[in-house]
Structure 1
């Protein structure tokens, strides 16, 4: 977590500017620079600015991991069929209300040996503006549903949209979660071109990459089929997120 040291640095800069009679514009420029870092740190989970998230695996092996957010959905069974065909285990960060909607699919994810992570109860669009208590409630409600439907517990958590801030950091600590990020973002929820999504994932693939996908559309399913073929041809093996935690 880099937030608090940076605040101290910002305060030191203000004292320095004051001591040398800096102008209003210097103060303003410093403030905007500070604000820009805060915003950047909130939306880029790889920075670890507010929360130390796992974003890759340190490994010498030619291996990567597939993670799927926002399910289960009506499309998830197709994804499971494809993963089973290639004998690949993935990690699914599930939304509580989606588990309630598709309980049998959720049970199948577990039955077929995939790893489950918490992705909050509702995946609120206002996640970045929620209080610590509300975020904690979102995480705990999802945990309750995961246990009720799947009879399992998980210490894995992925912040919706990858957004982090001090409130989310406190909620993660309070619920004893491990924050899981990524270092390959497919952008499959905002890009309609399947070729662009495929290229986004494969063009810079490296050992230990954590790939972010969503089991929420036919489009991503089609891309996944090509990605799995790519991994097979390039002789990549796969790991699941819980294997990192066990070896951490």
Structure 2
């Protein structure tokens, strides 16, 4: 998609350059015409003066000669005027064709679109189903970074069936076990991947690390380089990691006030594009589900459109030492 935009922008710039070049040539010719008209005006004035002065010295011959000269100049001007009109008409057609080919209006719309990615961690739960109902009502797609809950297999399937993305978050979400080594993390993740494939006939290829890819809690269990080692390992398996740039604050305490969640999302998103929004749909995050309609309406009022994350989405990633 970026390549297409770049190609269209290059074409647009090239066409505008050609148009400006031709416009410059026309302006030069128009200047010459104006200059010639000024000269003719001076000649006419001087003719009147000379006619009065030479009225007693062969006036008929003098007037005839000057009349012939003026007629020739007028004929030349008329010819150049027609030529300029033809060039202007031709340039206008070229401009219309250039605008049509570059599809400028659609390109501008794409260039200035604002995208919000609603992401939900730690589900599925009954809150996930409430969230899915809201997303369906607003015709919006979102992304769910799930954990392992075999009893909620039907919710995995519903997420996929309704066109959303499932990402891996970890099966157990137990920092003390998953962050002891890269192999421990991969074992946990592959257990979750198998559960989703069995439940929803879907193979996830995106990942969000519990606590984010730069979390330091993991250092307690695997040392200061554990996240670097795990990210390198998951990269080798083709997983694309996604963090966030908007924190809804719904995890700041057990049950966050709805207004805090709404205001956090709207205020932070107002200065971002894209906005990758961290929300949670674990069993006790009831106010997050309640806040969602106001979040959607508030973001739409800011000019945002909504999309789901895929492995080809430009990734928002925290800086991790040793990772390019």
Residue 188 of structure 1 aligns with which residue? 250
Change (3 A) 1:127 1:60: farther
- TM-score calculated relative to the size of structure 2: 0.54
User: Contact 1:189/1:214 (CA < 8 Å) preserved in 2?
Assistant: yes
Do residues 115 (structure 1) and 179 (structure 2) align? no
Residue 295 of structure 2 aligns with which residue? 227
Do residues 168 (structure 1) and 230 (structure 2) align? yes
Q: Which runs of 5+ in 2 are unaligned?
A: 1-110, 215-226, 316-324
- Superimposed CA distance per residue, residues 43-64 of structure 1 (whole angstroms, 9 cap, x where no aligned partner): xxxxxxxxxxxxxxxx641221
What is the aligned counterpart of 1:106 among 156, 161, 164? 156
Give aligned pairs, total. Answer: 188
Change (3 A) 1:158 1:247: closer
User: Contact 1:116/1:154 (CA < 8 Å) preserved in 2?
Assistant: yes
Residue 318 of structure 2 aligns with which residue? none
Matches within 5 A, 1:21-170: 60-95=112-147, 97-98=148-149, 100-126=150-176, 129-164=179-214, 165-170=227-232
Matches within 5 A, 1:5-16: none
Residue 210 of structure 1 aligns with which residue? 276
Do residues 245 (structure 1) and 312 (structure 2) align? yes
User: Contact 2:123/2:280 (CA < 8 Å) preserved in 1?
Assistant: yes
Structure 1 residue ranges (4+ consecutive) displaced by more than 4 angstroms after TM superposition: none
Counterpart Cα distance in 2 of 1:174 and 1:124: 23
Q: Which moved more, 1:194-203 or 1:179-188?
A: 194-203
**Secondary structure of the structure 2 residue equivalent to 1:161:** coil
User: Contact 1:186/1:197 (CA < 8 Å) preserved in 2?
Assistant: yes
Deviation at residue 137 of structure 1 after TM alignment: 0.5
Counterpart Cα distance in 1 of 2:314 and 2:249: 29
Q: Which runs of 5+ in 1 are unaligned?
A: 1-58
Higher helix share: 2
User: Contact 1:118/1:154 (CA < 8 Å) preserved in 2?
Assistant: yes
- Superimposed CA distance per residue, residues 180-211 of structure 1 (whole angstroms, 9 cap, x where no aligned partner): 11100112022422222211111131221100
- TM-score calculated relative to the size of structure 1: 0.70
| RMSD over equivalenced CA pairs, Å | 2.1
- Superimposed CA distance per residue, residues 96-132 of structure 1 (whole angstroms, 9 cap, x where no aligned partner): x22x120111111110000110111111132674111
Counterpart Cα distance in 2 of 1:127 and 1:161: 14
Counterpart Cα distance in 2 of 1:86 and 1:245: 24
Larger RCO of the pair (alpha carbons < 8 Å, separation 6+): 1
Counterpart Cα distance in 1 of 2:196 and 2:301: 36
Q: Which has the larger radius of gyration?
A: 2
Deviation at residue 155 of structure 1 after TM alignment: 1.1
**Secondary structure of the structure 1 residue equivalent to 2:167:** strand
